[in-house]
Amino acid sequence: MTLRFIDGFDHFTTIAQLLYKYNEIAVNSYVALDVGRRSGSNAVRLYTSSGYVTKTLDEQATWIVGAAIKIETLPSGNVALMQFRDNTGNAQACLCITTSGALMLTRGSTSGTVLATSANALLANAWNYIEAKLTIADSGGIFEARVNGQTWVSYTGDTKYSSSLATANSIRFSGLSPAYYAWYDDLYICDGTGSVNKDFLGDVRVDTIFPSGAGASAQFTPTGSVNNSENVDDASPDDDATYNASNTAGNIDSFVFTDVTALNATVMGVQANMIARKDDAGSRTLRGIARVGAVNYEGGDLALSDSYIDHRTIWNQNPATAAAWTEAEINAAEFGYKVQA
């Protein structure tokens, strides 16, 4: 597994669209889209500690999370920037910001046991790349936070709040109390399994690219445009207005994409996002496809529901080479989807 989720927030145009990807979001003015940390990029802006977004994945003892974060001003009380929550909704541990701008590690909620506090402090209205690594255990657990690649605070010992669970399955990101903003951009989530991307990734950026034309396969029936690629290139998803559909196992659509921004940087992984649903009774599964060098490489089964949600396949490495992707390889590849069953 390792790299489990990434989001640059650049493909959202409304707050409602966050629910394609996130399991919980606050309502009304607590959550908004705003300018990101780079020119032309977006961020999610969370208002007060009642403003939050939550991503639920699965049960893991180790999570590594990073995001570019900006705070409007220092909070009036300790606030959790990241909560690592178990499947009962309780926080196993929190990465908090204090009233002085220090980072504080707690077992349990913000009012739980303080494990360690940083000597350094964050400044208001400045972007910083903040990462946290948590391994949950009664003893020998690890909780560490880094800012811009530097360790600010760490703890080894009891990091397990739950009396029965030694895992967390969701991460919640919050705004600041009593009435202040926190911005989040360029988010990644990794777990501790696998052989790559199972530790701090450092300051990263998440760029979004869209389909730009037909690839090798166009086996789904289009609705909206006769060109399958034009039904899935929406910066703002339109659900049943334009889509491609198939009930034939084995059918594939693949597409060429716009080129990634040339950075000559290390690529940590590629995530294919597919907003999909089934439209009848029974079960349906989808698979993401990466087409590299005229060969299709399939991801795992993705079970569809009756509602449109974001289904993801992540390739930590180029499946054709078992090495890190290069920008040229991404630009030459096609990506798409397949009816598995």
**The CA-based dihedral angle spanning residues 143, 44, 327, 324, taken in that order and rounded to the nearest 10 degrees:** 20
Q: In this predicted structure, what is the pLDDT of residue 1? A: 75
What's the helix, strand, coil split of the chain in %, to 5? 5, 50, 45
Query: Which segments in the chain show pLDDT lower than 50?
Result: none
User: Is 129 in a helix, a strand, or coil?
Assistant: strand
Contact 302, 274 (CB under 8 A): yes
Is the full-model pTM beyond 0.95?
yes
Give strand pairing partners of 63. Answer: 134, 191
CB neighbour burial string for 218-246, b if at least 16 within 10 angstroms, e if fewer: bbbebebeeebbbbbbbeebeeeebbbbb
| Phi, psi at 331, each rounded to 5° | -65, -30
Beta bridge partners of 270: 315
Q: Which two tokens stand for residue 3?
A: 């790299």
Separation of alpha carbons 167 and 2, rounded Å: 16
Q: Please check whether residue 327 is in contact with residue 266, taking contact to mean a CB–CB distance below 8 angstroms.
A: no
| Burial of 97 (C-beta count, 10 Å sphere; 0-12/13-18/19+) | buried
pLDDT of residue 236: 85
- Are 254 and 336 contacting, i.e. CB atoms less than 8 angstroms apart? yes
DSSP three-state, residue 297: strand
> Residue 261's pLDDT is what?
93
SS3 260: coil
